[in-house]
Every structure is written in structure tokens, then in C-alpha cells.
Amino acid sequence: MGSAHSRSALRTKTHSLCFNLGLPSLFVAINPADIHSAVALYFAGVDLDLDRVLPEVLRTSYERAQIIATHPVATTKFFNCLIKSILKCLVLGGVLGQTKAYFGTVESQGRGSLHLHLLIWLKHEYTPAQLKENIQNQDFRDNLLKYLEDVVKEDLDLSRGVKSIEQQRVTNSIDNAIEKSRKLVLRCYNMIASQQEVSGVQVASYLMNYDNHYTIHNYIQKSFSYLD
């Protein structure tokens, strides 16, 4: 995140883990939807009861986007809190299997908010060559499919989807034109924002002394000199 030097340093740390532990088992991208999160709104100062969040008190999506855009510190706190909870409860908690290491790098996306690219090393002794060989076995494939179906989940809110479709049907042409114009302006803004050096949320993250990566390993920098 940030300069080319910091990205190079993160790649070096990732390579050191690969040399030490082998290739990672899983690659996970975590992209929190901050504009739809009650926790992010709470950090931004919105008066909410997090133990009893009702849809009618969350305001409209446009109002939530305005609040998040004007509170980069709150967005940073939300991201850091959420990522630490995911790593502690899901990754180290064994939901994906016993974990021996992970390394996640923080990046800023087009709209300025943060997301995480995460490499996970699971506790198994299979090398890539062994996995390629074992995948030929039917029992191994069946167990692998059971594992993937157990840890990979996707839930679809059918009621919200049906409601959204019905709303689209009753929306008149004027509203459609306004919505298209709004999306065009938003895309233009995201394109311009993606070309800047750092976003407001990144600046807030630096000022709050949050790391640009997440890992359970400590790294020691050593310098070597070569003499003729």
C-alpha cells in the first residue's frame, strides 16, 4: 500500500514465507462493504444500537455513502477491526483448517476504501507435486470437494433480490436517467481517485499507525556485504 518501495518490501516478506513454508494453500480477497456496515456508521458517529440494528435506521445507501466518504478515520477503524476479527476468529480459529501462517497486504481500491489480499498456509504436509499426484485418487478428490463445500459458502438474500427487481420495474424513465447520470459521475470520480498517490483512508491508516499488512510472523532485516 502506498509507495513502490513499501510494495517491494511486502513482496520480499511474502517470498521469505514461501521459502520457509512452501507455497500458500489459499488465496483470499476480503473486500468489506463499509457503506452497508452498521459498525462503520457507528464509528462515524451515527447513533446506533449495534445489538439491535433495524433496516429503517440505517438510512439510504446514498446517505451512508456520504457519511463513509466524509469519515476516513472511521472507515479505517472499521476495516482494521473487521480484518483482525476475521483473522482471529475464522483464519486462526480453524474455519478453513488448521493454519500455520498467513500474510495479508492492504490495498486501496478505486473508491478509496481498503481491501485485503490474503495468503494462507494450512497445516498439511502436501507439496504441490504431491497434491497433483493425490488428486488422481477418487477418495482424495471426494474429501477435497467435501472440504471446499464446507468452507466456501454463499448466501443470497432472496427477499431483497425480489424487492430490488420490483423496484426497478416501477421506476420511471426520469429516475432511470438520474440514476445513470449518478453512476457515470461516480465512475468518473473513481477513475480520477484511482490515479492519485494515496486515498484519504490510506492517509488515515498511516496517521493511526496501522500496518499495511497483517501476519503472525516477525521479520528481522539483515544486511549482507560481499567482499572480493
pLDDT of residue 63: 85
Q: Tell whether 221 is covered by a domain.
A: no
Q: 157 pLDDT exceeds 80? A: no
- Report yes or no: 104 and 119 within 8 Å, Cβ to Cβ: yes
- The domain in which residue 140 lies consists of 4-215
Name the nearest CA neighbour of 108 among 200, 39, 12. Answer: 200
Q: Tell whether 220 is covered by a domain.
A: no
Overall domain count for the chain: 1
pLDDT of residue 96: 82
pLDDT of residue 162: 47
Confidence band (pLDDT; 50, 70, 90) for 77? very high
Task: Tell me what the mean pLDDT of segment 184-192 comes to.
Answer: 71
Q: Tell whether 224 is covered by a domain.
A: no
Task: Tell me what the mean pLDDT of segment 188-207 comes to.
Answer: 70
Integer distance in angstroms from the first to the last C-alpha of the chain? 37
Task: Tell me what the mean pLDDT of segment 46-50 comes to.
Answer: 82
Q: Tell whether 160 is covered by a domain.
A: yes
Q: Tell whether 201 is covered by a domain.
A: yes
Q: Tell whether 223 is covered by a domain.
A: no
Q: Angle at Cα 46 formed by Cα 45 and Cα 48, nearest 5°?
A: 125
Q: Tell whether 225 is covered by a domain.
A: no
Biggest alpha carbon–alpha carbon distance for the chain:
79
